[in-house]
Structure 1
Amino acid sequence: MMQKLKYLQGYPPSLTEQVSGLINSNKLKTFLLNKYPHCHELKTEKALYDLVQEIKSQYLKKSPPVSKVLYDKKIHVINHALGLHSFVSRVQGNKLKAKHEIRISSIFKHAPLPFLRMIVVHELAHLKEKEHNKAFYQLCCHMEPDYHQLEFDMRLFLTQQELAGPIYP
């Protein structure tokens, strides 16, 4: 039985067939837990903000500041996204104030740290590159060398979670 793998659309059939095999033999969860045995401990928005600032200060020192970082339970349902970078402009007197906000799907409160970092890197890359183009993905890979593998594994994680519920207790 071939599963409809909505998180893996665009990947080659040979890869999606392997994933379907893991699902059909009930081995996807075991595969993920062997590779990512622990959920991260960054449950508060303060801890998430600190992670964003740590990565930003290491790789994007000259980019604009991020004023707000939070977990958002609405993102996945409404936007079919995992994180959002928003640029908010407000007029204050005769000045235009710009603020950058990063919202991460609350799904990632209970995920391995590498997946959370990958999403953070993705959203931070939007400070410099607005579009998902070659320069954007080069920047992601500069900040997180395993970016593409982590993105694929995170899609496996989301697939498993949708099929059988949370992976981590």
Structure 2
Amino acid sequence: MTVLKYLQAYPAQLQDQVRQLIAEGRLGEYLNQRYSGRHDVQSDKALYSYALDLKQQYMRNAPAIDKVLFDNRLDLTHRALGLHTTVSRVQGGKLKANKEIRIAALFKDAAPDFLKMIVVHELAHFKESDHNKAFYKLCEHMLPGYHQIEFDLRVYLTWRDMQA
């Protein structure tokens, strides 16, 4: 039985469906049907603009984002597809906090929905730090179908590992 490391938290029935697609050699076809194409966000500047547009549309009252970039150091070995940080510094007599989002560079070549899911996920962390009900409700508000896209992203990562 194939171990699906990205899908371990999902019910056995879903894992079996993915295993069946793998056995039939149809996993890539499944992903291609649902998520064909590639997004145009290829630079850090474009990614910053993309994240800012999503923030303005859904989270106007959230703190400003100082930096958004693709990071080559984020990889699957650390289970990090995206990272949000708040760096606090004392400047004069004031405490200044910089908010940053880093997205794994592998998303430069991913489907548009996968990039949007990761950016939405990291943006939601600025309002909700934990993966709780409110966090996922916010994600679903910003990206309807969030849960299905997150599952399919995990299927994509499984397929990507198989290609390597």
Query: Do both proteins adopt the same fold according to a TM-score greater than 0.5, normalized to the shorter chain?
Result: yes
Question: Partners in 2 of 1:65 and 1:78 — Cα distance?
Answer: 30
Amino acid at match of 1:80: R
- The alignment's TM-score, normalised by the length of structure 2, stands at 0.97
Q: What residue is the counterpart of 2:30 in the other structure?
A: 31
Residue 21 of structure 2 corresponds to residue 14 of structure 1: no
Q: 1:64 corresponds to which letter in structure 2?
A: P
Query: Which residue of structure 2 lines up, in the alignment, with residue 87 of structure 1?
Result: 86
Q: List, as ranges, runs of 4+ consecutive aligned residues in structure 1 with deviation greater than 2 Å.
A: none
Q: List alignment gaps of at least 5 residues for structure 1.
A: none
Q: Say yes or no: does 1:56 pair with 2:63.
A: no
Distance 2:137 2:82 in 1: 19
Structure 2 Cα separation of the partners of residues 140 and 77 of structure 1: 22
Counterpart in 1 of 2:44? 45
Which residue in the other structure is 1:72 paired with? 71
Question: What root-mean-square deviation, in Å, do the aligned CA atoms of Structure 1 and Structure 2 show?
Answer: 1.0
**TM-score after normalising by structure 1:** 0.94
Q: Percent identity?
A: 51
Letter aligned with residue 104 of structure 1: I
Q: Distance in 2 between matches of 1:77 and 1:13?
A: 23
- Structure 2 residue ranges without an equivalent (≥5): none
SS at match of 2:75: helix
1:65 & 1:76 partners in 2: Cα distance? 26
Task: Spell out the pairing of 1:102-117 with structure 2 (5 A cutoff).
Answer: 102-117=101-116
